[in-house]
Amino acid sequence: MTTLSTELALRRTFAIISHPDAGKTTLTEKLLMFGGAIQMAGAVRARGEQRRTRSDWMAIEKERGISVSASVMTFEHEGLTYNLLDTPGHEDFSEDTYRTLTAVDSAIMVLDAAKGIETQTLKLFEVCRMRDMPIITFINKVDREGREPIDLLDEVEKTLALDVCPVTWPIGMGRDLKGVYDLVNDRVIMFDPGRGDHIAAAVVDAPLDSPKLDEAVGASAAARLRDEVELVRGGYPEFDLESFRAGHLTPVFFGSALKTFGVAELLRGVGRLAPSPLARKTNTRTVEPTEEKVTGFVFKVQANMDPNHRDRIAFFRLCSGRFKRGMKLKHVRSGKVMALVNPVFFLARERELAEEAYAGDIMGIPNHGQLRIGDTLSESEDFHFLGIPTFAPEVLRRARLDDPMKAKQLKKALDDLAEEGVSQVFKPVDGSSWIVGVVGPLQFDVLTTRIESEYNIRAGFEDGGFVTARWVAAEDAKELEKFTAANKSNMAEDRDGSPVYLARNSWQLGRAQQDFPAIKFTATREQH
């Protein structure tokens, strides 16, 4: 039996962040191909394409199986195990993405060579930065005309305040693309435009000053490359593993996901540079992945995978230890012990490994609603992992029911779906109908469709007069009582009974904050 630390050293758990259309789906598919998981790659592609229009997206969302199997993808390459966590591309689902990012140890940031950093890239990067997450940059689509590579690097450096260190360098771009130069090993990875995939691209060992380089890519491309590399080596810091691991420096790879070009170098880069599973903080102490006792947390819940059974899958990141199927873990929030007899693993190959998992791995735990986002499971100690936030929703609407006799069922449906963490339900203290909050308005369409198809209830969402929500708390319980009494028509409770202030406009929120300085208003709420 291998030791725990050997297993951990072989694991990389990461996500891909990008702006829609930069090529995340294509890159995911190609990474899986290297991991021998081609059959899954098809599922990823289908999803990427169908996401493009709203109705198609909803149809695919109903096909829960596909989106779940593609949410976590475990594959192997050159002796290492990679857990790739997918994040929804649409910005209306960014909350889900933020939480998925709490479950990884590093990320690949994909940029379109013609566009550089875009709005969604920036937002997601900022989430990674809050956690000092190591980021590897992949500049994609070099098979098309793009911006000057140096220009792109400067943009990353300035916009993200991040040191950049190219690992590969494009030799030409678009129609003139000859290959990429591997700056670490002094060799050329040749690009052949006639081939759609470069799984085994021709590689020419060619130190910069050797005539072999001219032979391989032509004299003028070689001359240009020499000039550029001189600039790059003089202008950017040398690679420093510590600085990368601390989130201050990003190694940069160039390539084309579509042509499977430069992807192997990127994957090897993840293997060589990205950290193995990292320690995680709890409310009492930091948990090291090498600890023998099994611990972990739920970062995502997917309800109603099978409409005939009201079960759900909790996505669980193991933070320490070696998990064995059938193990009993304590559900810290309720104090109950759960036997994990049928966890789902996301391994594309080697099914026999499904009996065991290690820190850094992701398992799906089927359950009937006991497991919520942010919950900790622990083999011995009672603590909970920190840093899995609930965000204040940005759009609020009031639930409207066509058949008032179905109020109870609607409550159940709203609660169930809120458990997935994408929507939130607030019960106004004045007894009026539920207020549902989401991060992006597209969510209301998804909710309406799912409530109808999964619960057989016709409901809708209408303007409830509120624009934003804040959790409220005070050190002195009397202050909170005073605040609640003075703001009855704005007060509601979340699913845990925590008080929430719903504001009709930003002026009203500002006024409430001014009038009640003893009250703490928060836009995110840590679970528990």
Annotated binding site for GTP: 18-25, 86-90, 140-143
Residue 24 Cβ vs ligand G4P, minimum distance, rounded to whole Å:
4
Of 20 and 218, which CB lies nearer to ligand G4P in the complex structure? Answer: 20
Categorise residue 304: left if φ over 0, alpha if ψ from -120 to 50, beta otherwise: left
Q: Which stretch binds ligand G4P (CB under 6 A): 172-180, 218-226, 252-260, 357-365?
A: 252-260
Backbone angles phi, psi at 402, to 5 degrees: -75, -35
Residue 115 Cβ vs ligand G4P, minimum distance, rounded to whole Å:
11
Q: Which stretch binds ligand G4P (CB under 6 A): 137-145, 278-286, 448-456, 491-499?
A: 137-145
25 interacts with ligand G4P by CB under 6 A: yes
106 interacts with ligand G4P by CB under 6 A: no
Q: How many residues bind ligand G4P (CB under 6 A)?
A: 18
Residue 136 Cβ vs ligand G4P, minimum distance, rounded to whole Å:
16
Of 27 and 303, which CB lies nearer to ligand G4P in the complex structure? Answer: 27
258 interacts with ligand G4P by CB under 6 A: yes
Tell which positions 317-346 bind ligand G4P, by CB under 6 A.
Answer: none
262 interacts with ligand G4P by CB under 6 A: no
Residues making up the annotated binding site are 18-25, 86-90, 140-143
Residue 256 Cβ vs ligand G4P, minimum distance, rounded to whole Å:
3
CB 416 within 8 A of CB 310: yes
140 interacts with ligand G4P by CB under 6 A: yes
DSSP designation for 18: E
Among 76, 143, 182, 420, binds ligand G4P (CB under 6 A): 143
Q: Which of 473, 462, 451 is nearest to 395 (CA)?
A: 462
Residue 51 Cβ vs ligand G4P, minimum distance, rounded to whole Å:
7
- How far, in Å, CA of 528 to CA of 526, rounded? 6
144 interacts with ligand G4P by CB under 6 A: yes
Among 77, 141, 317, 525, binds ligand G4P (CB under 6 A): 141
Q: 389-391 and 312-320 as β-strands: parallel, antiparallel, unpaired?
A: unpaired
Place of tokens 């030409």: 172
CB 429 within 8 A of CB 493: yes
Q: Which stretch binds ligand G4P (CB under 6 A): 15-23, 224-232, 358-366, 494-502?
A: 15-23
DSSP designation for 384: -
- How far, in Å, CA of 24 to CA of 299, rounded? 21
Report the interhelical angle of 263-273 vs 24-34 (nearest 10°): 80
Torsion sign (Cα): 220, 225, 228, 229: negative
Q: Which stretch binds ligand G4P (CB under 6 A): 138-146, 362-370, 378-386, 417-425?
A: 138-146
257 interacts with ligand G4P by CB under 6 A: yes
What is the per-residue DSSP string for 318-345?
EEESEEETT-EEEETTTTEEEE--S-B-
> In this structure, what token pair is assigned to residue 86?
């997918």
26 interacts with ligand G4P by CB under 6 A: yes
- How far, in Å, CA of 337 to CA of 343, rounded? 15
248 interacts with ligand G4P by CB under 6 A: no
Q: Which stretch binds ligand G4P (CB under 6 A): 177-185, 256-264, 366-374, 499-507?
A: 256-264
Q: Which of 315, 329, 320 is nearest to 279 (CA)?
A: 320
Q: What does the chain come to in residues? A: 528
Q: Which stretch binds ligand G4P (CB under 6 A): 136-144, 234-242, 310-318, 390-398?
A: 136-144
Categorise residue 439: left if φ over 0, alpha if ψ from -120 to 50, beta otherwise: alpha
CB 109 within 8 A of CB 136: yes
23 interacts with ligand G4P by CB under 6 A: yes
89 interacts with ligand G4P by CB under 6 A: yes
Of 109 and 492, which CB lies nearer to ligand G4P in the complex structure? Answer: 109
Q: 423-428 and 435-438 as β-strands: parallel, antiparallel, unpaired?
A: antiparallel
49 interacts with ligand G4P by CB under 6 A: yes
Under 8 Å CB-to-CB from 347, ≥6 apart: which residues?
74, 75, 353, 354
- How far, in Å, CA of 433 to CA of 463, rounded? 12
Work out the number of other CB atoms within 10 angstroms of the CB of residue 168: 26
Of 29 and 416, which CB lies nearer to ligand G4P in the complex structure? Answer: 29
Residue 110 Cβ vs ligand G4P, minimum distance, rounded to whole Å:
7
Of 258 and 377, which CB lies nearer to ligand G4P in the complex structure? Answer: 258
Among 11, 12, 24, 331, binds ligand G4P (CB under 6 A): 24
- How far, in Å, CA of 279 to CA of 359, rounded? 10
- How far, in Å, CA of 394 to CA of 414, rounded? 17
What is the per-residue DSSP string for 337-370?
EEE--S-B--BSS-GGGGGEEETT-EEEEEESS-
Among 18, 168, 376, 443, binds ligand G4P (CB under 6 A): 18
Of 143 and 361, which CB lies nearer to ligand G4P in the complex structure? Answer: 143
Residue 45 Cβ vs ligand G4P, minimum distance, rounded to whole Å:
7
- How far, in Å, CA of 268 to CA of 201, rounded? 14
Place of tokens 């109950």: 336
Among 100, 256, 304, 487, binds ligand G4P (CB under 6 A): 256
Of 49 and 355, which CB lies nearer to ligand G4P in the complex structure? Answer: 49
Among 10, 20, 46, 118, binds ligand G4P (CB under 6 A): 20
Binding residues for ligand G4P, per CB under 6 A? 18, 20-26, 48-49, 89, 140-141, 143-144, 256-258
